[in-house]
Amino acid sequence: MEIRLFNTLTLEKDVFVPVEQGKVRFYVCGPTVYDLIHIGNARVFVLFDALRRFLEQVGYEVLFVQNFTDIDDKIIRKAQELGRDPKEVAEQYIAEYWHDAEALRVRRATVHPRATDHIPEIIALIRKLEEKGFTYVVDGDVLFDVSRFPHYGKLSRKRIEELQEGARVEARYAKRNPADFVLWKSAKPGEPFWESPWGKGRPGWHIECSAMAMKYLGETLDIHAGGVDLIFPHHENEIAQSEAATGKPFVRYFLHNGYVNIHAEKMSKSLGNIITVRELTKRYNPKALRLALFGTHYRNPINIDEALLESSAQFLERTKNFLRNFAFIRRKVRENPRWQAEREGDVVGEVERFSSLFFRALADDFNTPQALGVLGDFMRFGNQYLLPARGRWSEEALEAMAAFLDTVEEILGIVPWEEVGAEDREVQELVEEREQARRARNWAQADALRERIKALGYVVEDTPLGPRWYRQEEKEA
């Protein structure tokens, strides 16, 4: 299958060809652990988790690395505010990250390296740059001289003379060029530090990613991903320092997702509209939140508001209803041969068509909105096929449908099989009790049980195959 990905380096949808056949080296910038992750962070982690799953599903071995920045100005400031050790603060918010990531069904990376565990690698990389003449020292800080790297700006398409300082570069001394950036920061009183050839200090933000990425993935990565806000200066600086050190291309495909807007305004601390994942998952099913992030193409800005989240929650409920319907018919067919049809090649062929469309959508620059459209069309087709009035269904067709649903879950992580099972246990018991009352012609008790089922938000429907149930607002024709 030919996969095309929009490459920020070329501004084209390039055919994806990894360095090593059958293997993908994939790096995603992880969180700086000083606070709970917000919906902007979640978009990065969810989208590229799903892209990784897709690549694995089509047969690639994916070595997936996502780092933790566990030493940084923000972490130090947070620790000072709380009167705690920066390491304790980092550990706390790494644990908080795991909690939120698991809620969003983000799988753990192959490796989750921490900056503080890779100080020797970081120092070695800076030494290599120093030996090649790419660095200079000012007041104990080691800086990268961008004028020595002729390709600086090739990702962001900024010219050196036009570049402004990055947000994380402190203007505490004169630099040779405003775009020069810190590789090693000299220690300030009371700050954590490590010994180095340049004195006590700690790594700059950019250098840690290069050192960790190359340690685990080699000198040339297949995919490097993150938010569009990281194009400059972070990813631009990673390219400069990595390629200056190795003389090789650092990344073949740079992927960037668009900004997150909150109620049509760009999410930012200055506007006070930062929304954490923890806050949203208290109000919405985490699967609905994950699904919402797939509803807009990853390269486009996404607007998070109640309408989007409610729409995603409704889609999730429709999916649950389809699963209940599917499980009901599948169980009846397995239990009683009278409901089993002969081979239905036309149905199997239609399911295979949906599967092909699903993969084609994701192969075209990971078009998740189109893939969700395929899932919606599949469920409409499936609901028609599963109507009790049909009377007979082939196990072959049902297994094909189950396989497609499993594929969607494996890649997108939004098929709520386990939630349906948990929610239905109480309803199942009431439905069975009602059925016993009906067989005993105890109509008053049967009616009372129907009302109890209704109070739980479900409707029970009597069919030739027996009773089935669903949420009333979920029912589709």
Number of domains observed in the structure of the chain: 2
Asked whether residue 305 carries a pLDDT value surpassing 50, the answer given is yes
The structure tokens listed for 421 are: 């099972």
Query: What b/e string do you get for 293-326 counting C-beta neighbours within 10 Å, with b at 16 or more?
Result: bbebbbbeebebeeebbeebbebbbbbbbbbbbb
Asked, for residue 449, whether it belongs to a domain, the answer is yes
> Residue 2 above 80 pLDDT?
yes
Higher pLDDT, 257 or 450: 257
Domain with 313 in it:
307-474
The Cα 94–Cα 99 span in angstroms is 9
In a domain, 246, yes or no: yes
**End-of-domain residue from the set 257, 274, 294:** 257
Helical packing angle, 306-335 and 286-294, nearest 10° = 110
Same domain, yes or no: 111 and 253: yes
Q: Give the model's pLDDT for residue 134.
A: 98
Whether 323 and 392 map to the same domain: the answer is yes
Answer yes or no: do 52 and 200 share one domain: yes
Confidence category of residue 424, pLDDT binned at 50, 70, 90: low
Helix (H) or strand (E) holding 161: none
Query: Closest Cα partner for 31 from 89, 83, 85?
Result: 89
Same domain? 251 vs 311: no
Together in a domain, 321 and 251: no
Answer for the pair 24, 18: CB distance below 8 angstroms, yes or no.
yes
**Predicted confidence (pLDDT) at residue 126 exceeds the cutoff of 60:** yes
Confidence bin at 81 (pLDDT 50/70/90) = very high
Per-residue pLDDT tens over the stretch 332-360: 898 888 889 988 899 999 999 999 999 99
User: Is a pLDDT exceeding 90 seen at residue 272?
Assistant: no
Report yes or no on 164 lying in a domain.
yes
Helix-then-strand count for the chain, H and E: 14, 15
**Confidence at residue 163, expressed as pLDDT on a 0 to 100 scale:** 61
Q: Find, among 292, 389, 394, 384, the residue nearest to 343 by Cα.
A: 394
Cross-strand bridge partners of residue 257? 227
For residue 167, what pLDDT is reported?
A: 38
With beta carbons less than 8 A apart as the criterion, state whether 184 and 203 touch. Answer: yes
Q: What mean pLDDT comes out for the span 294-322?
A: 96
pLDDT of residue 456: 83
Strands 458-463, 141-144: parallel, antiparallel or unpaired by DSSP? unpaired
Q: For residue 298, is it within any domain?
A: no
Would you state the pLDDT for residue 421?
63
CB atoms within 10 A of CB 259: 16
Using the predicted structure, report yes or no on whether residue 265 has a pLDDT greater than 90.
Answer: no
For residue 123, the model assigns a pLDDT of 98
What pLDDT is recorded for position 172? Answer: 58
Least confident of 67-71, 87-91, 121-125, 459-463: 459-463
CATH at 445: 1.20.120
Report if residue 269 sits inside a domain. no
Of residues 451 and 242, more confidence is placed in 242
Q: How far is CA 5 from CA 21, 196, 293, 367, in A?
A: 17, 40, 18, 10
Say if residue 68 is in the same domain as residue 180.
yes
What is the pLDDT at residue 332?
87
- 137 has a pLDDT exceeding 80: yes
Q: Are 274 and 267 in contact (CB under 8 A)?
A: yes
226 with 362, same domain: the answer is no
- Which helix H or strand E contains 3, and what residues bound it? none
Q: Which helix (H) or strand (E) holds 66?
A: strand 61-66
Instruction: Decide if 335 is inside a domain.
Output: yes
| pLDDT at 165 (0 to 100) | 44
Q: Where are the alpha helices (DSSP H) in 68-118?
A: 73-82, 86-103
The rounded mean pLDDT for the chain is 92
Mean predicted confidence (pLDDT) in 136-141: 94
- Rounded CA separation 86/18 (Å): 39
Tell me if 80 sits within 8 A of 185, measured CB to CB. Answer: no
Closest CA to 37 of 258, 227, 277, 259: 277
Same-domain status, 129 and 198? yes
**299 domain residue, yes or no:** no
Six-digit token string for 243: 């390629």
Residue 35 and residue 155 share a domain: yes
Higher-confidence residue of 301 and 454: namely 301
Give the number of other CB atoms < 10 A from CB of residue 67.
Answer: 24
**Spatial distance between the Cα atoms of 361 and 371, rounded to a whole number of angstroms:** 5
Per-residue pLDDT reduced to its tens digit, 181-196: 999 999 999 999 999 9
CATH number of the domain bearing residue 42 = 3.40.50.620
Backbone region of residue 80 per phi and psi (left: phi > 0; alpha: psi in -120 to 50; beta: other values): alpha
Position with higher pLDDT, 385 vs 172:
385
Q: In terms of residues, how long is the chain? A: 477
Using left for φ > 0, alpha for ψ between -120 and 50, and beta otherwise, residue 160 falls in: alpha
252 lies in the same domain as 353: no
pLDDT tens-digit profile of 144-171? 999 999 999 999 999 876 664 443 444 5
What integer is the mean pLDDT of 293-304? 97
Give the number of other Cβ atoms within 10 Å of residue 436's Cβ. 13
Is the per-residue pLDDT at 474 higher than 50? no
| pLDDT score for 263 | 86
Looking at the structure, tell me whether residues 228 and 133 fall in a common domain.
yes
- Looking at the domain assignment, is residue 292 inside a domain? no
Do 425 and 351 belong to one domain? yes
